[in-house]
Structure 1
Amino acid sequence: MIPSLQKQGNKQLNALRKDIEELFWEGVRSATPEYLSPEFWNNHPDLCEVFKNPLKKNYVFALGKAAYSMALSFQKFFPVEAGFILTKYDHLPKEIQRKGQMDVWKCREAAHPIPDKNSELFAREVLDEILQLDEDHQLIVLLSGGGSSLFEIPEKGYLLKDLIELNENLLKKGLSIQEINSERKKYSAVKAGKLLNKLKAQLKVYTFAISDVLGDDPNVIASGPSYPGSEYYVMGNLTSSLRAMEKKAKSIGYEVNTISDSWDFSSEITAKKFVDELLDGDTNPKKQAILLGGELVCPVDGTGLGGRNQETALRVAILTEGYHTDREWLFLSCGTDGTDGPTDAAGGIVGPGITQKMKEKGWDPKKELLNSNSYPILKDMEALLFTGATGTNVNDLLILLLAERNS
C-alpha cells in the first residue's frame, strides 16, 4: 500500500505543479502589452486617430521593466518617428543590448531597484532628445514598474550617490511603494511631473501605463515623471490578471477563492494568512485554488540573499512543518516581472515536507529566515521559479492549490 500511495502522491503533486505554473503564467500573459493592446486601442478610437495623424510625428519614450514589449506593441499599431527604450539590465535581447539600437529606437539599460550611473546617464540622454520636440511632435510615454530607479536625475544640491544611499535605506525598511516613491520624488529632478516642466509648453504628451501600483495611482507609478500634466491612461493592472487566473482555474476544475487584489501586508502576515487558508481549505474535499494579488512588504533584517516572495514561501514552509494531511498542496509566491528582489528568481514554490528535506541537507530554515537568506535554501530545494524577464510588471501573484481528496 505505501508505494502505491507514494506514487499517487507524486502524481498529484506533479499535477499541482503543472497547474500552479499555468495559473501564474495566465496572470502574467493577461498583463502583457500584446494581450492588453488590441482591446485597449479598440476601446479608444479617438486616440487611434491622434496617433495616426500624418501631420504629427510620434516620439515614444518607453520606461520600465515592460518598456521593450510596450514599445514594440505600440509600433504595431502606430507609426513611430523615433523612440527611446530605457529598461532594466538583461531585459533587452542580447543583440539589441550590444547594438544599443533597434530600427528607430535607441535602447538602453540601467539598474533596478537601486539607480546607478546609467540611470542618470541615459535619463540625460533621453531628456536631451525630448527637449528638442516641438508642436510638430507628440510625446508618448509608455510607463511600467521599475521606472523610478531606471530614470533618474538628482535635484539641485544632490548627487547620484545621495540618491543611491537614499534608495538603499528606503528599501531595507520594508516600506510600501507609495512611501518609497514619495521620498524619491523629493530628491529627483524628473519625478512627480518635473519631466514635463522641462518640455516646450506646446508639446502634447500622452502617458500609457501598465500599473504595478495598488490602486493605479499615477502619482506613484514610476514616481510619476509625466503626471500631472499629460493625458494619462492605465492599460492593465493586477485586477485584470487575477480575473484571468480565476477563469483559468475554474476551467480546469478548481473551486476558486480570491482573497484580495490589493494586498499590501508583510511577508510574515501573508504567510500566516495562507496557512490559515490551507487549514480551512482542508475541510473541503474538492480541488481548491486560493488566489491573492498585491505588493508584499518585506524588511531586510540580515545580510542574506532573497526577495519578498521567496521569503513568503520560506515562511509558509516553516509554518507548515509538522502539518499532515491526506492530500497534496502547493503554495507559490512570485513577482510578475520575473525578478524577486535582487535575485534572478521570480519567486518560490513550496509544498508538504519541504522543511524536513531542508534539514536533511543541513539547512536551518529559521536561521536562514532571520538572515533574510531565502534564495540559497530554496534554490537547493529546487523550490524557485525562474522565468526571466516577462515583459510586464503588475506586482505579486500568490497561489495556494489543494488537490482533490481521494475517498
Structure 2
Amino acid sequence: MKNNTTPPSFAEERIFLRSLFDSAVAAADPHRVLPSFLPAVPRGRTVVVGAGKAAGAMAQALEQHWTGALGGVVVTRYGHKVSTRSIEVLEAAHPVPDEAGQRASQRILEAVQGLRAEDLVICLISGGGSALLAAPAPGLTLADKQTMNRSLLRSGATITEMNCVRKHLSSLKGGRLALACYPAQVVTLLISDVPGDDPTVIASGPTVADPTTFAEARAIVEKYGLQDQVRAYAHLCAAQEETPKPGDPRLARTSTHLIATPQHSLEAAAAVARAAGVNPLILGDSIEGEAREVATVMAGMARQVRRHGQPAARPCVLLSGGETTVTVRGKGRGGRNVEFLLALTQALRGEPGVFALAGDTDGIDGTEDNAGAMVLPDTWARAEHLGLKVTDYLTNNDGYGFFAALDDLVITGPTLTNVNDFRALLIP
C-alpha cells in the first residue's frame, strides 16, 4: 500500500483515457471501414487517385479487396507511406506544400487523362489532402501557395476558411480534379476531418462541386489582413476561372461516400466508456473556436459535473471532436491539442478529480512527433515544482515543450487515418 507521501500515479486513469483515444482511431481505420463502400468493377479501366494522411492506407485496403485490375497513384504525408502492389504511393509535405506535392499532383493529373465513359476513377480523399495536392493555379507558383498557406495557418482562420482560399489558388481543388476525369465515372471515398463532414471542405473538395467563390476567398484574405501576399491576392481579385458549381453537367457521374467521420469515432469511444461503467456525454463532433476559449468552457463544464452532477452524473467522460484554431504569436512548438491542454491546465489550476486527453487522430499534433498530451489533477503542481509557468508557455505557443517536460505527451506515431481532433475529459 502506498504511504501518504507517495505522489499519485493515476495509472488507471491514464490507461482509460488512452483506451478511449485508441478506440476512436481504430473506428476510422481504412481497413475496417473502406471495403463495404467499394463500387462494382466497371467494363473499362479502374484508375485510383487520391490524397491525404490516410491515402496510403486507403489504397492498401482497396487493393486487398478489389477483384479486378487497377492502377493509379495517391499522395500522403511524409512518414505515412505503406506497401502496395499496383497503386503507387507518393509522399509530400504537410501542412505547407512542397515540390514533391506539386510533382505528385502532376502525376495524378496524368493518371486520369484520356479516360472514357466506361472507365471508373476511385478517388481516396482524407484530411491533409489540401496541402498535398499542391498544383498551383495558372499564373501562380508553388512559392506563392506556400507563403499564403503559412500565413493562413498562423492567422487563426478556420479550416473552412483556409480551404475556401486554397480552392481558388489551385488547379485541382474545388472540383477541378473531377473535371479532369470527365467523362469517366468518379466515386470518391472520404474520411472526414472537418467540422460538419462537408465533402466540399474535406481536402478542399477536389471531386465535388464548389459553392464558394473567388469573392468569398478574397474576403477571407482581407479579413485576416493577408493582402501582402501580393501574387495570390491578385489572382483572387482577377477571378478569371471560377470553380465548377452545383449542377455542372460534367459532374453528373460523380458520387461521394463518407466512410469514416469524427462522430463515428466519438461513438466508438463512448461505447468503451459505457462498458467500463463510465457515463459518456458527447458534446459535439464539430467544435470550433480558439483552442484557449474552448478549454475555458470545458473546464467550466468539468467543474459543474464535479460540484452539481450536471450535465452528467459522475463517473463520466465528456467527449468532443472538431478542429480548434490557434492564433500563433510565439515561437514555441506544438499544435491545437497541446494548446488546448495548456489553456485547460491554466483554467483548472489543479482542480481535483479532472483528467483530460486531447490528440489528433492522425498521430501528429501540428508538426511535432506527438498526437497530443494528457492533463492530470497534479499537472499544475508538478509544473510549479519544476518552475514551469503555464502563462509563459501559452504566450510562446509551446505546449509541446510544457508537456514534454512533464513526460505527459501522447505519442502514437502516424495512425494512417485522420478524423480530426479528439478530446476526453474524465471526471471519476
Give the alignment's TM-score, normalised by structure 1.
0.89
Distance apart, 1:65 and its partner CA:
0.3
Q: Which residue of 1 aligns with 2:294?
A: 270
| Residue deviations 1:259-308 (CA, integer Å, cap 9, x gap) | 11221121111111221122112134832211111111111111111101
Q: Identify if the C-alpha distance between structure 1 residues 333 and 6 changes in structure 2 by more than 3 Å, giving closer, same or farther.
A: farther
Which of 315, 322, 334 matches 2:343? 315
1:352 aligns to 2:341 (yes or no):
no
Distance apart, 1:135 and its partner CA:
3.9
Which of 173, 195, 202 matches 1:221? 202
3-state DSSP class of the match of 1:85?
strand
1:24 aligns to 2:21 (yes or no):
yes
Structure 2 distance, partners of 1:164, 1:152, is 9
Distance apart, 1:56 and its partner CA:
2.5
Structure 2 distance, partners of 1:17, 1:62, is 36
| Residue deviations 1:9-28 (CA, integer Å, cap 9, x gap) | 43xx1111000000011111
1:123 aligns to 2:105 (yes or no):
yes
3-state DSSP class of the match of 1:282?
helix
Aligned residues: 380
Q: Which residue of 1 aligns with 2:170?
A: 188
Which of 274, 290, 300 matches 2:328? 300
Structure 2 distance, partners of 1:353, 1:129, is 55
Which of 169, 178, 181 matches 2:151? 169
1:33 aligns to 2:30 (yes or no):
yes
3-state DSSP class of the match of 2:364?
coil
- Measured on the aligned residues, the alpha-carbon RMSD in Å equals 1.9
1:240 aligns to 2:228 (yes or no):
no
Q: Identify if the C-alpha distance between structure 1 residues 8 and 340 changes in structure 2 by more than 3 Å, giving closer, same or farther.
A: closer
Distance apart, 1:37 and its partner CA:
2.7
Letter in 2 for 1:29: A
Q: Which residue of 2 aligns with 1:139?
A: 121
Q: Which residue of 1 aligns with 2:46?
A: 58
Q: Which stretch of structure 1 is more off in the superposition, 268-277 or 350-359?
A: 350-359
Q: Which residue of 2 aligns with 1:44?
A: none
| Residue deviations 1:371-400 (CA, integer Å, cap 9, x gap) | 111111211111111111112111111001
Letter in 1 for 2:192: S
Which of 375, 397, 415 matches 1:390? 415
Distance apart, 1:329 and its partner CA:
3.1
The answer as to whether partners of 1:321 and 1:353 remain within 8 angstroms in 2 is: no
Distance apart, 1:5 and its partner CA:
4.9
Distance apart, 1:141 and its partner CA:
0.1
Q: Which stretch of structure 1 is more off in the superposition, 117-126 or 133-142?
A: 133-142
The answer as to whether partners of 1:32 and 1:391 remain within 8 angstroms in 2 is: yes
The answer as to whether partners of 2:47 and 2:121 remain within 8 angstroms in 1 is: yes
For structure 2, list consecutive stretches of 5 or more residues without a partner in the other structure: 210-250
Structure 2 distance, partners of 1:198, 1:68, is 22
Identity %: 31
Give the alignment's TM-score, normalised by structure 2.
0.85
The answer as to whether partners of 1:60 and 1:80 remain within 8 angstroms in 2 is: no
Letter in 2 for 1:128: E
After superposition, where does 1:68-79 map in structure 2 within 5 Å? 68-78=56-66, 79=68
Structure 1 distance, partners of 2:169, 2:355, is 43
Q: Which residue of 1 aligns with 2:55?
A: 67
Q: Which residue of 2 aligns with 1:337?
A: 362
Distance apart, 1:130 and its partner CA:
1.5
Q: Which stretch of structure 1 is more off in the superposition, 271-280 or 165-174?
A: 271-280
Letter in 1 for 2:199: P
